[in-house]
Amino acid sequence: METRKLGTGGLEVSAIGLGCMGLSFGYGPAVSDADGVALIRAAYDQGVTFFDTAEAYGPGANEELVGKALAPVRDEVVIATKFGFANGRPGDGVDSRPERIRQVAEESLRRLGTDRIDLFYQHRVDPAVPIEEVAGTVRDLVAEGKVKHFGMSEAGIESLRRAHAVLPVAALQSEYSLWWREPEKEILRACEELGIGFVPFSPLGKGFLTGAITTDTRFAEGDFRNIVPRFEEENRKVNEALVEKLKSLAAMHDATPAQIAIAWLLAQKPWIVPIPGTTKLHRLTENLGAAAIDLDASELAEIGAALAAIEVQGTRYPAAMAALAGR
């Protein structure tokens, strides 16, 4: 697989990474350790060198799984993890106090079984802590050799600029896909100006863009899509129009809707690195196949025209969760 660079500090990763959250958290019951390790190692065998986890996924369980799976190839991969939630639990609110950042770093290093964190993201901006203090704390961790690169997640432009002035931000991770294009308004331009890479999470719309989710789909207990307005039954009925368009484009490429959705992201900028997640080996191979699909200008224009005619229904988060984004 080809590689891409995130930021200006020499961070180079596979063009498609693996979002590991769903193996342990967020989408119903966790997979077994054996199955999780097998999937992560299969991703590496297929060219993935960029793996995304966080303290909050478990909490801690996902980091332990990722560390175990990647231990044999640790020096050949980039591991990204995150700090920023009180007690490692999103429901407990945000906490980016310097002492908390240091605590998370030490605990993440232990769980991952490594001596450095390749990319350390602030998971959500903490309005109670000046972003300069956050960046300064990570800068100190970089000086100590415990962290290699600094990232932010779902941050707004002002926070991004202020942090970047203290310590170069290698990557901004935010949601971006064919059904959530908010970053196109301002964020992508700011990233290009500052030399910051962009890492889209949920590039497949939390699974919706695969075409496997219909109005009849029922999610498992504990799957957070049960509380996401965009996945309410009436909204799903309307949003299926986007998937139908993807299916017609996919047929022209002998591809799947998921592959077209990821290829579309890759075509936007050479410093965009999507991190689709999955618990299934066949879906992993399918997603990574998007790296071989080149959409030309006319096809991108066709997708753009189709998107302009479709108004996606439903917000991407419940109100309480949405309030944490874009600070």
Q: Three-class SS of residue 206? A: coil
According to DSSP, the residues that pair with 102 across neighbouring strands are: none
Domain boundaries, the chain: 3-210+257-293
pTM attached to this predicted model: 0.94
15 within 8 A of 49, measured Cβ to Cβ: no
Residue 161 is predicted with a pLDDT of: 98
Q: Which residues are catalytic?
A: 57
Do 143 and 102 form a contact (C-beta atoms < 8 A)? no
- Start-to-end CA span in the chain (Å): 34
DSSP per residue, 306-321: HHHT----S-SS-HHH
pLDDT of residue 326: 63
pLDDT at 321: 66
Positive or negative, the CA dihedral 105, 111, 115, 117 is negative
DSSP H or E stretch at residue 3: strand 3-6
Query: According to the model, what pLDDT value does residue 303 have?
Result: 86
State how far the alpha carbon of 165 is from the alpha carbons of 10, 133, 140, 193, 246, in Å. 18, 12, 15, 13, 40
> Residue 144 burial by CB count (10 A; 0-12/13-18/19+): exposed, middle or buried?
exposed
- Residue 85: what residue type? F
Q: Which residue in 303, 175, 304, 313 sits closest to 240, CA to CA?
A: 313
The ranges of the chain with pLDDT < 50 are: none
pLDDT at position 322 is 61
CA distances from 170 to 79, 94, 266 (A): 13, 22, 18
CATH code, residues 3-210+257-293: 3.20.20.100
pLDDT at 294: 92
CA angle 124, 128, 130 (to 5 degrees): 85
